[in-house]
């Protein structure tokens, strides 16, 4: 079965950096679309970085220029490099996967990790 396990979260001061990783197993990694989402306390889930139909990545406006997604098919790993972190980036971060890119774009992918907490202090 599909398993997604995030790691790399933690506490950091504003302006700092973190790299989140998502280890995937149970399926052919290269055949699934993957993305990152987040949910802050009291707020709805937000798309952080998801693929579009043309092979590019669609970033949330709030993270453009600061976050970078990458996928390593050899290591079955999805990463999210987060730079210039702000207190408003504080949230639980989730990686997600689906065979259909539209599911990630709509925020309803079939498979989710358990999440990793990111806390940014001012």
Query: What b/e readout covers 47-64, taking b as 16+ CB neighbours within 10 angstroms?
Result: bbbbbeeeeeebbeeebe
Which secondary-structure segment (H or E) carries 105? helix 101-105
Spell out where 26-115 has E strands.
Answer: 33-39, 45-51, 57-59, 67-72, 77-82, 91-98, 111-112
The length of the chain in residues reads: 122
From CA 30, how far away is CA 14, in angstroms rounded? 34
In order of 42, 84, 119, the CA distances from 51 in angstroms are 26, 22, 25
Q: What's the pLDDT at 11? A: 98
Q: What's the pLDDT at 101? A: 95
In order of 27, 29, 106, 108, the CA distances from 46 in angstroms are 25, 23, 10, 11
Q: What's the pLDDT at 53? A: 83
Structure token digits, residue 52: 């579009």
Q: What's the pLDDT at 22? A: 98
Give Rg (Cα) of the chain. 13
pLDDT tier at 119 (50, 70, 90 boundaries)? Answer: very high
pLDDT digits (tens, 9 = 90+) for 68-111: 999 999 999 999 999 999 999 999 999 999 999 999 999 999 99
pLDDT digits (tens, 9 = 90+) for 12-54: 999 999 999 999 998 888 899 999 999 999 999 999 999 998 8
pLDDT tier at 55 (50, 70, 90 boundaries)? Answer: confident
């Amino acid at each position: 079965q599909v398993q997604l396990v995030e790691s790399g979260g933690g506490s950091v001061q504003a302006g700092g950096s973190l790299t989140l990783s998502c280890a995937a197993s149970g399926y052919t990694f290269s055949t699934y679309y993957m993305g990152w989402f987040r949910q802050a306390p009291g707020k709805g889930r937000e798309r952080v970085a998801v693929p579009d139909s043309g092979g590019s990545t669609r970033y949330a406006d709030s993270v453009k220029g600061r976050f970078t997604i990458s996928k390593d098919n050899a290591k079955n790993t999805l990463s999210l490099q987060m730079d210039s972190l702000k207190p408003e980036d504080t949230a639980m971060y989730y990686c997600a996967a689906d065979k259909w890119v539209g599911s990630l774009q709509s925020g309803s992918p079939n498979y989710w990790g358990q999440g990793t907490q990111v806390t940014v202090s001012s």
